[in-house]
Chains A and B, each alone.
Chain A
Amino acid sequence: MASHFALMIFFALALSVILAGLIRASGFERIKYALRTFAAFVVVGIIIAWLMYPFSH
């Protein structure tokens, strides 16, 4: 089974691709939007994970 982090990465990637296709009109804009959205998903996910860490044990 993949790690929690790997699953989060895959989910962020898939959702970024879908949102970029829906929201942006041109190819280059879509790529930029997908990369920004993917980075935001991952960074926010890591931040939330560390915020939850004190409550995990």
Chain B
Amino acid sequence: MSDPAASKPQSKTEISPVLIGVLAWLVPGLGHLVQRRWARGTAFFLAIGGLVILSYHLRGVVFSILPPVDPRVDPLAFLGALGDAGNGIFYFLAHRIESSGPDISRAAGDYGTRLLAAAGVANFLCVVDACEIAIGRKA
């Protein structure tokens, strides 16, 4: 027999889940911080931010979302752009953080490219988590 208390929905946040989602995407961890999940928000910001800063330092490729890559011409670059864009404000500040541009002549550049995409995808997961907290599905 299931425990009724376990299935009781959590209290919803007063802020719109859509706004929470946008904030969570824009700054990793911010969606959780706004909802007073201090530990999670800080951990997500440091982990995702650390991956992004490291990837720029390694001079990985930052795929372009503006203008968007045609997925029929280069589907991998298109997917890479979607992943990279998941980093929110870090993505748009790429050229300010590392102005030298990509360098994939070394293995480090390849690592940087993959780390950046992984960080972006991880942030998308954090956005979903923040929205689920906002609608009361999670604590």
Contact = CB atoms under 8 A, between A and B. Distances in A.
Interface of A: 1, 4, 7, 10-11, 13-15, 17-18, 21-22, 25, 27
Given A1-B108, A4-B107, A10-B50, 9 more contacts: A7-B58, A10-B54, A14-B47, A14-B51, A15-B47, A18-B43, A18-B126, A21-B44, A22-B125
Contact of A14 (B50, B58, B125, B139): B50
A14 B48 contact: yes
Contacts, number: 45
A18 B122 contact: yes
A11 B125 CA distance: 16
A49 to B, nearest CB: 13
Nearest to B108: A1
B39 interface: yes
Interface of B: 39-40, 43-44, 46-48, 50-51, 54, 58, 106-108, 111, 115, 118-119, 122, 125-126, 129, 139
> Interface centre among A17, A18, A22, A27, by most B CB within 10 Å?
A18
Contacts of B58: 1, 7
Given A1-B58, A1-B108, A15-B122, A22 B50 contact: no
A27 B139 CA distance: 12
A10 B119 CA distance: 12
